[in-house]
Amino acid sequence: MRPLDPRLIAHAKSARRHLLTAVVIGIATAMAVIAQATVLGHVIADIFAGNTIGVPGAVAWIAVLGGARALLAWAAEATAHRASAHVKSELRRATLAHIGALGPTWVAMQSTSDVATTLVRGLDALDLYFARYLPSLVLAAVVPVAGGVWILSQDALSAVIIAITVPLVPFFMVLVGRFTAGE
């Protein structure tokens, strides 16, 4: 199974709108995360430098940005649940229309409980996909890229170091796993 199922997107037009909304909210969340981290970094640097004049204002900005992130998380959750309801409704209508097109002979040969289970439990399983998985997938794709671009714009050497070291993380995870598996 692919991370983003193209069949589901093809069959449910409202899923496309949800993906676009999730991307917009993901970009806004990434910007809030980066802004909060930047302000926090400046506060920590100022404190270590002995300059505490701007700390209260910066802490207020961190709180405002935290509130913005909470509001964005709520918006993502609300739109995800709304999108899930629309997609399930759309897919239920399409499934019932298909069953109707197959005719009463086909319906008589099927187990009513199997059809009902598919229409209810099967489509209700999409809630987790739209409410949790897709928003997380979008954030996992958007935040690292946005963070990398921000780091590159602030300090190219740090961006190069990160670009070299981050791909080594899975390599060392495999090494640790192999080493500990032998013991």
State residue 98's pLDDT score.
86
User: Residue 11's pLDDT band (boundaries 50, 70, 90)?
Assistant: low
Q: Is the pLDDT of residue 109 over 90?
A: no
**The predicted structure's pLDDT at residue 69:** 94
Cβ proximity of 87 and 4 under 8 Å: no
Output the pLDDT for position 183: 63
Most distant CA atoms of the chain, gap in Å: 82
Q: Sorting pLDDT into bands at 50, 70 and 90, what band is 48?
A: very high
In the predicted structure, residue 12 carries a pLDDT above the cut 70: no
The answer to whether the beta carbons of residues 35 and 42 sit under 8 Å apart is no
Q: Please indicate whether residue 60 or residue 128 has the higher confidence score (pLDDT).
A: 60
Q: Is the pLDDT of residue 78 over 80?
A: yes
Mean confidence (pLDDT) of the chain: 85
116-172 residue pLDDT tens: 887 888 788 877 887 778 778 877 888 888 888 999 999 999 999 999 999 899 898
Confidence of residue 72 (pLDDT cuts 50, 70, 90): very high
CA distances (Å), origin 36, targets 39, 63, 144, 177: 5, 9, 15, 35
